[in-house]
Amino acid sequence: PAAQADDFNVTIVAGHPPVFRWVKHASQTFIPAVNAALEGSGHSITWSEQYGGSLAKVGDELEAVEEGLAEIGLVSSLFDPAKLSVQNVTYFTPFVSSDSTAVSTWMDELQHTNADMQATWAENGLHYLGGGIGIDDYLLMTTFPVNSIDDLDGHKIAAPGPAVNWLEGTGAVGVSGNLTTYYNEIKTGVYDGVIVFASAALPGKLHEVAPYITKVGFGAQYAGGLAANADWFDDLPAEVQDALMAGAKADAEAYQKDLDASVTKFLAIMQEQGATVTEVDQAFRERWANGMDNVAKLWAEKLDGEGKNGTAVLKAYMDTMRAAGATPVRNWDQE
């Protein structure tokens, strides 16, 4: 690392546009925090912010950073499930915790401390900075009231990629869908409902077409975080490296606070606008979780086969969450 003071040109990339909360905070929290941390160090950064697909589409951020077109990216593990397979552990372990701050904080921690998680970032030429993108508790939103699991029978429910698995064994027909077209497809009747999170449901006005909101307790999720090109990061002066890590930490805190406040507000607004919010009881939750195949186990074994220690990651995540006070409806790792 060079000792003299330097100005660094940094391109930061995100596939989502800045209206998405995690992109907003990258721009409004992460960058200012890094700049502030650099003050007095003699170093500075000139930022080029490339969001919303201007440089890379959603799910292509990893490659843009790995190949060096951007130095830093908001890398979405959810949309890059093959390359960041171990990071997707939360999507294969529903019913663990509905607290998005807990899930993303502990997942952030695991990215720094768990050898298998670190190995995956390294394998993709990335250095994980932090700023975990927590997704608030996934909800079931339907055109019909759900009082019992039997009510789902034969209904078509759209869900994002890995969440289709959550519908196995419920009698519902899981369809892999796209957030941007849910509204119209529910309206015309292609789908009878969706699995979606509140902070996306309100902007999309999904409660207008699927007014029955059921808090099943699928849980909060981890969808990725800020990562830097590893070769570039390793060559940076220590002060700059520290500033980037500090910026990511500040980003995570601000993002989580913002998210928590919005979720409560959004649910209230949807209710005001005529949606019915119901929270299911523990028996409902247990019946749902126990009726599912153990997709976590299937996932872990597939990863083991790829030499990625899926079983160990599954156990590490579940242990971490239980130690943090979560009471999983189903202990996916202990079967």
Span near another protein by CB under 8 A; candidates 60-68, 95-103, 126-134, 223-231: 60-68
Euclidean distance between the first and the last CA atom of the chain, given in angstroms as a whole number:
49
CB of 61 to another protein, least distance (A): 11
User: How far apart, in whole angstroms, are the C-alpha atoms of residue 24 and residue 8?
Assistant: 22
Site membership for another protein, residue 204 (CB under 8 A): yes
Tokens (6 digits) for 267: 């649910």
Q: Interacting stretch for another protein, rule CB under 8 A, among 15-23, 220-228, 273-281, 317-325?
A: 15-23
Question: At closest approach, how far in Å is the CB of 83 from another protein?
Answer: 6
- 38 versus 296: smaller Cβ distance to another protein: 296
Q: For the chain, how many residues are written?
A: 335
Give the strand pairing for 212-215 and 276-279: parallel
Stated as kind and residue range, the H or E segment containing 104 is: helix 100-113
Choice between 279 and 301, CB closer to another protein: 301
Helix (H, G, I), strand (E, B) or coil at 84: coil
The DSSP line for 281-331 is -HHHHHHHHHHS--HHHHHHHHHHHTTS-HHHHHHHHHHHHHHTT---SS-
In the set 22, 30, 92, 197, which binds another protein (CB under 8 A)? 92
Residue 222, beta-bridge partner list: 134
The verdict on 46 binding another protein (CB under 8 A) reads no
When the beta carbons of 56 and 223 are compared against another protein, the nearer one is: 56
Spatial separation of the C-alpha atoms in residues 24 and 44, rounded to whole Å: 21
Asked if 150 touches another protein (CB under 8 A), the answer is: no
Q: Rule CB under 8 A: say whether 265 interacts with another protein.
A: no
* Residue 81 binds another protein, judged by CB under 8 A: yes
As measured in angstroms, the least distance from the Cβ of 303 to another protein is 8
| Tokens (6 digits) for 224 | 């990725």
285 contributes a contact to another protein by CB under 8 A: no
Residue with tokens 């909101």: 213
- The residue among 265 and 302 lying less far from another protein, judged by its C-beta, is 302
Q: Which of 5, 48, 150, 279 binds another protein (CB under 8 A)?
A: 48
CB of 52 or CB of 271, closer to another protein = 52
C-alpha distances in angstroms, 179 versus 93, 204, 236? 21, 8, 39
- Describe the strand order of the beta sheet including 138-142 as a list of residue ranges: 173-176, 156-159, 193-197, 138-142, 212-215, 276-279
- 151 lies in the site for another protein, by CB under 8 A: no
Which residues contact another protein by CB under 8 A?
A: 11, 17-19, 48, 50-57, 60, 63-64, 67-69, 81-83, 85, 92, 123, 154, 156, 161-162, 164-165, 168, 173-176, 178, 180-181, 183-185, 187-190, 203-205, 208-209, 293, 295, 298-299, 302, 306
